[in-house]
Chains A and B, each alone.
Chain A
């Protein structure tokens, strides 16, 4: 069992292997479909000129350097004092971000991505080079995971809507499992291959 706090070092990432349980602490930023598309188009492929974009990029560079991005579209509640509370916050399916994630990992020096369902070869390659890992949270365990979210520190791009906004949260002992590591191992790739073999056998029955 590992307990890690963001920002995470390269040594800490290299020490992780598929199957390891990790409890994450510190700042995590949520980002899913709209956020990935936005980061690619406004920060990574093009230098931002819009002052709002420049300011956001500056903040994200600090938050995500050695940091962790969480594929999550939460249910939130706005409190009377204007602050936010996470009510339900499980992971969303990560594979939709496969076309973007490797570039995002490299651009921001991410050390981890939290999601569910795993990702593909481009992300795995970026994990080996960077290094970084893919943390698998339990899909649907939304109320439970929300208990790990101790504070909503900030929110960016709320105009994307609540699920797609980038929420900056402070987590305590957020439970995840490493399913893609920085040594080229992926549980998802392995299970996919094995299940396809089993399927071929079943078709012969």
Chain B
């Protein structure tokens, strides 16, 4: 191979953004339908879920945003050796600006000092892009759109926590995560999905927690201890009675996904990345051969 691989993925990334903003993943749609089926017919909870499902279908059909808060775009990019991350960053930025001009994304990047909206979703550390080099001969990009309402109710606990009687163990994690659900009430657009990280520092805690939201809603954690914890928190969170939009009801949380990172001896963080029901995620695979794109697919 001579020199870096030259690619132009702007159009492909634009399509990835369009899909993420306008098409709710099928597993999320099914989870919402299961929620609707278990609510009292005619109740506020059931009607809220019916409205949500109607909106999801309409957004898909019209190719318009599911939610007006198209959030922070978070890209995770896996790439082979020889692909310039600077080149990909520029192309992702261009695609994000184009997606904003096409109203797939709301202009969401605000200067924290002046309050000025950049108008194109580009700004300091905005959007978020994480690169991972790997051995495979393909580029794989996931995109999450994480809205502000759910970001505001996301939270981080430092264990032990005397108020919750939460120690540095999985029982402590359970208590912290349930507390986060009670605190969130309907404000993060329940029924939500909980991405949880045990450990890490304060920064990696949120990165790992948000990454859990990429998992399919009904997958099972390969670690049996964590699988049991996820199932228990899911069941108990749905006993809280908060319900869709906080109207009351059985469907408060659609999924709980727990990941782990190594921690410092002194620190035990439990990070809860609360995601709204509009858990928007999309992925794109770009197959490469001899530095040329052979196939692009989306899921």
Contacts and interface: CB of A to CB of B under 8 A. Distances in A.
A122 interface: no
Interface in B42-79: 44, 47-48, 51-52, 54-55, 58-59, 62, 64-70
A195 B182 contact: yes
A192 interface: yes
A93 interface: yes
Nearest to B252: A195
Contacts of B110: 161
B245 A138 contact: yes
Contacts of B199: none
Interface string B154-185: 00000000001100000000010011001001
A140 B277 contact: yes
Main SS at interface, chain B: loop
Q: On chain B, which size bracket covers the interface?
A: 35 or more
B5 interface: no
B55 A138 contact: yes
A191 B247 contact: yes
A89 B239 CA distance: 31
Given A93-B187, A117-B149, A161-B107, A177 B44 contact: yes
Contacts of B65: 75, 87-88, 142-143
Nearest to B105: A75
Interface of A: 19, 21, 34, 72-77, 87-90, 92-93, 95-96, 116-118, 136, 138-147, 160-164, 175, 177, 179, 187-188, 190-192, 194-196, 198-199, 202-203
Contact of B69 (A19, A76, A87, A92): A92
Interface stretch (B7-15, B112-120, B210-218, B282-290): B112-120
Q: Which of A73, A142, A160, A190 has the most CB of B within 10 A?
A: A142
B248 interface: yes
A188 B185 contact: yes
Interface string B242-254: 1101111000000
B149 A93 contact: yes
B103 A87 contact: yes
Contacts of A140: 52, 55, 66-67, 69, 147, 189, 276-278
Given A140-B189, A160-B115, A196-B182, 7 more contacts: A75-B105, A92-B149, A93-B148, A118-B185, A175-B51, A188-B246, A199-B182
Contact of A162 (B106, B164, B165, B186): B106
Given A73-B106, A163-B117, A191 B149 contact: no
A-B pairs with lowest CB-CB distance, top 4: A161-B117, A117-B187, A144-B55, A139-B189
14 contacts: A74-B68, A75-B65, A76-B103, A89-B68, A117-B245, A117-B246, A138-B51, A139-B186, A141-B67, A144-B51, A146-B64, A162-B119, A163-B68, A191-B242
B108 interface: yes
Given A141-B55, A146-B64, A191 B152 contact: no
Q: Which of A88, A89, A147, A194 has the most CB of B within 10 A?
A: A88
Nearest to A198: B240
Contact of A161 (B116, B182, B246, B277): B116
A139 B64 contact: no
A117 B242 CA distance: 11
B133 interface: no
